[in-house]
Chains A and B, each alone.
Chain A
Amino acid sequence: MAETPRIVLDYLAALVLETRSPAYIRVDGLGGILGWGGDTPAYRLPSLAEGEPVGLVLSAVDGLIPHTGEPIRLPAVELNSGQFVDVHVFGGDDHTWVLLTDATLETMQQAMLQQRLNEVNLIRGWHARAADDQITRSEAGELISELPAFTEEGERLEVSVLQLYFALPQHSGPVLATDDLDPLGRVLRAATEVITHESGYVTSMAQDSLVAMFGVLPTGSSPQIHAIRAARDAVAAVREAGSIGGENGSVAAGISSGFVSVGLVNVAGSRVFVAVGPSLEAAGNLARSADSGTVLVDVATLKVAGDAGAGFKSSGEAYALDLN
């Protein structure tokens, strides 16, 4: 690597001093404080005093002193003040140096992203388990409606509701070796995968339908666009997954957009995700009235769908996309 010019190094040093509030503590071989400097007030540490064990000031370095090997970096250590600090420990001059650099801003930003990422990953896992569970429950004619949710408090959200209606083929011929013996579970898994990929949140499953919301989880585009893309892919996926003996069943989709109130209620000791709003019923009505292989959407969905709305044609008060 080419040598970095002095002016760049000076700029970087000034940048770190300005944005990272570096502070240092110099300690002896027993962990006693010898001196300190830099922007120590920024971290609201307990009083620094010569000879005091550094562990009383910064518990993160307990057990790390004396330090003679490779420098140690402990990223994003939360202080009692609520600030986050990167702690660097390195040796030199017969002493150990503890350097603190502020990491609060980037850690808070990461925290928001990490929270959402973890929630999405948890929900994906729940979806997969719910689909598996449906295999068992479908034999007893039970429905799945209780999926764990990530929000504690009620919220009013603008969402797109997608409802799929499907019917498996009434196949009476021989079952092919390639056929899964449980097509319902296969269909639900396929639909869930597509919906999850589009950041949708499956709120309920039954033996002939599935409901999902877009806009509950963070989405890259508008919920309407994700819902339409998911509907297109879900119709194809359900057809393929529901095939028995080479015969296809039927599948239709309805999408309605608007405000819903979402939240959690306790049912028999479990938290149950609940959504209330006219779009839920409207999506169901659209899906029921749609022909097989068709996606039927309301005006509120299509008008902000952008390119995703290409191919839809007026059909009464709604718009239809024929995927046959």
Chain B
Amino acid sequence: MLQKKICMLGAFAVGKTSLVSRYVTSMFSEKYLSTVGVKIDKKTLVVGDETVMLMLWDIYGEDSMQKVQMSYLKGASGYLLVADATRRETLDKAASLHERAREVTGDVPFLLVVNKSDLVAQCEIDDAALQPLLNQGWSVLRGSAKTGLGVEEAFSSLTQRMVGG
């Protein structure tokens, strides 16, 4: 069985833990509990003929007071960048984390999830804001850990690219 490490990267309170929780346990909680350090969850999925064990590294969110230690990304086969659709600044944070992650992981697959996309009325990340990233070749998905929108797709799409499927 293949084993692949995926890191969750993003600003604080964008929903990284909620995305992992939705994907691994199909559960969601409205309660916000900030992550400290890193928690590793596992999930097995089948991609083509391959069974893949995903090691999901849910890393604390970055804020103005603490930067994410990039040592967590050693050995990662890919990473999910997460932004909060209701907070425009989290898109910029995702972009800066991507730059720093690249220095450790090299050219591994990644994908941007614009989480909380169910909050349409409060959306601050419109298509125009995403267009420059799409132009750079980024893969972008709108998703919601709350409703489940795009969650399976995000992880399976990234995994397919990691295993070359």
Contacts and interface: CB of A to CB of B under 8 A. Distances in A.
A78 B37 contact: yes
Contacts of A107: 36-37
A111 B32 CA distance: 12
A118 B12 contact: yes
A122 B74 CA distance: 30
Interface residues of A, number: 30
Given A63-B75, A117-B63, A122-B13, A271 B34 contact: no
A64 B32 contact: no
A69 to B, nearest CB: 10
Contacts of B12: 118, 121
Given A64-B74, A121-B12, A152-B30, A114 B42 contact: no
A42 interface: no
B61 to A, nearest CB: 8
B5 A74 contact: no
Interface residues of B, number: 31
B134 to A, nearest CB: 26
Interface in A33-66: 55, 59-60, 62-64
Contacts of B39: 77-78
B1 interface: no
Contacts of B65: 117
A301 B12 CA distance: 36
A119 interface: yes
Nearest to B37: A76
Given A72-B71, A72-B74, A75-B69, A60 B40 contact: yes
A111 B64 CA distance: 16
Interface of B: 3, 5, 12-13, 30-34, 36-40, 42, 55, 60-61, 63-66, 69, 71-72, 74-76, 87, 89, 122
